[in-house]
Amino acid sequence: MQLLGKKAFILGGTRGIGRAIAEAYAAEGAAVAIAARKEEHAEKAASELRACGAAAYGLGWDVSEVGRADERMARAAELLGGLDIVVVNSGVIEREPFLSVSEKSWDEVMNVNLKGAYFACQAAANWMIGHGVRGKIVVMGSETGFQPAATPYAISKWGVAGFAIGMARRLYRKGVSLSLIAPGPIATDMMLWSEGKPKDFPNAFSTLGEAKDVAALAVFLATERGMRIAGRPVFLSGGLDW
């Protein structure tokens, strides 16, 4: 087991990529805490992992409530008995075309995807440094964060890419390794994909990626072998940029 004895906190861990990461970390021996906007959703996901023999806990946290970041990080560490890995995966997407994007949609996306992610990383780093932990922060970006952008989602991911790269450089010498995963389209409900629908997609592999592929990378990045991967994006875009 690659993560045996590790303690991991996954933000946005109830479905899609976050849930796949939580399951993969648990399967590799880590104890996991899962955060979601609604605590009952987080607890339900945790209970399903416990039913499979994992040590798992659920926490309620809307990451746009950045004033709670330090307290929620401390609570996760209290439940887990420490904190080695934090996965910053919470995210929302708008469905409005560029010419009709509302201020409400802009604010919701930016508050979660950019501001929430930034302060979650800050809180994770402060906890690890303050407790002398050589920890790992895994940030979920997007390949859209490296392309010309007009939508709030894509613009938020530009911001995530920028702060993750900049933050990684400042944290590495303090003993905290921060990695940025930049997936292409993944077969999840955020992509409006549902079980049984075709995964055809116009990339080099002619198919959507799967959450388990992102989870496998997130496992590797959290191991000792992955600690030196910091400050640069790791793309899982299926050759979209070829």
Tell me the catalytic residues: 153
State how far the Cα of 3 lies from the Cα of 83, in Å rounded to an integer: 12
State how far the Cα of 191 lies from the Cα of 194, in Å rounded to an integer: 9
State how far the Cα of 191 lies from the Cα of 204, in Å rounded to an integer: 18
Contact call for residues 19 and 89 (beta carbons, < 8 A): no
- Tally the residues of the chain: 242
- Helix (H) / strand (E) containing 8: strand 7-11
Q: What are residue 180's DSSP bridge partners?
A: 139, 233
Query: Tokens standing for 28?
Result: 């590799």
**Distant-in-sequence, close-in-space partners of 238: CB < 8 Å, separation ≥ 6:** 184, 185, 201, 203, 204, 205, 207, 208, 209
Count each helix (H run) and each strand (E run) in the chain, helices first: 7, 7
Q: What are residue 8's DSSP bridge partners?
A: 32, 85
